[in-house]
Chain A
Amino acid sequence: MSHESQLKNVLVQGKFAVTAECGPPKGADPEVILKKGELLRGMVDAVNVTDNQTAIVRMSSLAACGLLKTAGLDPVLQMVVRDRNRISLQSDILGASALGIRNVLCLSGDHQIFGNQPQALGVFDLDSIQFVQVVKGMRDDGVITGGDSLDHKPDMFIGAAANPFADPLRFRIVRLAKKIKAGADFIQTQCIYNLDRFETWLSMAADKGLTEKAFILGGVTPLKSAGMAKYMKNKVAGMDIPDDVIKRMEGVPKDKQREEGINICVETILRLKELSGVSGVHIMAIEWEEAVGEIVKRAGLYPRPALCRA
């Protein structure tokens, strides 16, 4: 079994990478995650596994990644700083590496008030940027916070998230630069519907040389319905869905909206492929993993490069 990051290999070879997101179950059944893995096998280079997303208790990302690894996939371990302190975050990095997991995405996490555990204590010992820096220190220098040495360095391809559409706009590039300076090797962005605005952000990033320093994967999410589009536009922070996208979704009958959502998604990916500075796409089709295959094929991204052997 390969213990290299397939995602890293594809990106380093200059090929357009494809990742997709998959959510662990609200239960202890390993089959759920393995089934999702099967839907994505061959369609993507790596699979992101979310970490108690929206602060709802689910099977741990680390365990789910471990399962996907045994199934021969390349997982991206998403880790939020909301639930664990630096002791346990660093410990999990070591454990993940030992399990052959080679990619980590360092995130803040949604505040605990949003999920099914609003009474929980939010930890927030480190923030996501400090966490990136910590993982880099472990990987490159073999040290943990406080300076103690590790007897075996973890091997991790380090990622961070970026939101080109969030407030405050003028600070987005500064924040991106900080994440890359801290050690992020790759960036996955929030889902893109407003390509013009994304391109503006991208060119600002390029001006700062950031697109040379880290691999940027543009995020996409296929819309399931006009209702979903409107909900995301109005209720989800940091999302920019232009009115003409809403109109497109509303313009087709309900039973055709999923198809239209996929159409928009594919078109977005085709545009992303043409942008220099974009090294890949991250498909977030939560609870709709079946759609990923179709999207990848129609976007001309199938087949994926063969698994690199160590």
Chain B
Amino acid sequence: MITGEQKPVREIRRMIAPYKRILVLGCGSCVAECASGGEKETAMLASALRMAARMNDEDVVIEEMTLDRQCVMEFVIQLDKSIDPYDAVLSLGCGAGVQAVADMYPEVPIIPGLNTEFLGETKAQGVWAETCLGCGDCMLYDFGGICPLARCSKQILNGPCGGSVDGKCEVNPDIPCAWQLIIDRLDKFGALDRLEEIYPPKDWSTKQGGGPRKIIREDQQK
């Protein structure tokens, strides 16, 4: 899923300051899973913002609503019947959600309430970790299911470097050395000799080569 964290309240208040009628818009998908932009978090933020407004004698109406997904046009369009009264939308969707709403309602300022972070997994309750870079050319099989691009701080394909300590990355001891994980995993499969071959340079064109990427599936189109 895509993860993100709420921007600091101070920053949010600064961005919404010019507006008088604000809709705080949550998303029921990824950001709900990582507890930053779902229905609960939307209600919490809206309440806090209303209190802050009152405490600062600000005349503003702040209401809330949550869509199932903010990144899918068919869900966003549900706003057609609700968006009129508002002069700005504070979106707690990820960057894709914010932009989807902005594309649908270009006259309404859509303000991001989250800092979108990474593609990752829920490792444990309350813990999310980055695991995928979206490189467009998945090599996970070669590395026993552990991505050296997303999980090695230096994106080394012929690792490890010399900096790990006790299986932890030199950049941050909370980060397991991805190469330690890869070695251990391939060892379990009896495939360590795979690492004796020199892995060639990555083809980054599947990530960056054509500018912002698009997928079109004719069989899926109307």
| Interface residues of A, Cβ cutoff 8 Å to B | 82, 86, 108-111, 113, 122, 124-130, 133-134, 145, 161-163, 166-168, 171, 174-175, 177-178, 181-182, 190, 237-238
List, in ascending order, chain A residues with CB within 8 A of B198's CB. 129-130, 133, 178, 181-182
Q: How far is the CA of A133 from the CA of B197 in the complex (A)?
A: 12
Out of B157, B162, B165, B171, which one reaches A190, CB within 8 Å? B162
Q: How far is the CA of A127 from the CA of B158 in the complex (A)?
A: 7
List, in ascending order, chain A residues with CB within 8 A of B163's CB. 110-111, 166, 237-238
Interface 1/0s, chain B 188-222, versus A by CB < 8 A?
00000001101111101000000000000000000
Identify the 4 closest CB pairs spanning chains A and B, nearest first: A163-B162, A166-B162, A129-B158, A124-B155
List, in ascending order, chain B residues with CB within 8 A of A126's CB. 201
A111, B162: Cβ atoms closer than 8 Å: no
B183, A168: Cβ atoms closer than 8 Å: yes
| Interface residues of B, Cβ cutoff 8 Å to A | 153-167, 170-171, 177, 179-180, 183, 195-196, 198-202, 204
Out of B156, B162, B180, B195, which one reaches A238, CB within 8 Å? B162
B204, A125: Cβ atoms closer than 8 Å: yes
Whole-angstrom distance from the CB of B50 to the nearest CB of chain A? 35
Whole-angstrom distance from the CB of A109 to the nearest CB of chain B? 8
Whole-angstrom distance from the CB of B149 to the nearest CB of chain A? 9
List, in ascending order, chain B residues with CB within 8 A of A168's CB. 160, 164, 167, 179-180, 183
Out of A111, A127, A134, A177, which one reaches B170, CB within 8 Å? A111
List, in ascending order, chain B residues with CB within 8 A of A166's CB. 160-164
Q: How far is the CA of A124 from the CA of B155 in the complex (A)?
A: 6
A130, B196: Cβ atoms closer than 8 Å: no
List, in ascending order, chain B residues with CB within 8 A of A125's CB. 201-202, 204
In the complex formed, the residue of B with least CB distance to A183 is B198
List, in ascending order, chain B residues with CB within 8 A of A122's CB. 154-155
B164, A167: Cβ atoms closer than 8 Å: yes
Out of B161, B166, B180, B200, which one reaches A130, CB within 8 Å? B200
A108, B158: Cβ atoms closer than 8 Å: no
In the complex formed, the residue of B with least CB distance to A82 is B154
Q: How far is the CA of A125 from the CA of B163 in the complex (A)?
A: 19
B158, A178: Cβ atoms closer than 8 Å: yes
Out of B156, B167, B196, which one reaches A167, CB within 8 Å? B167
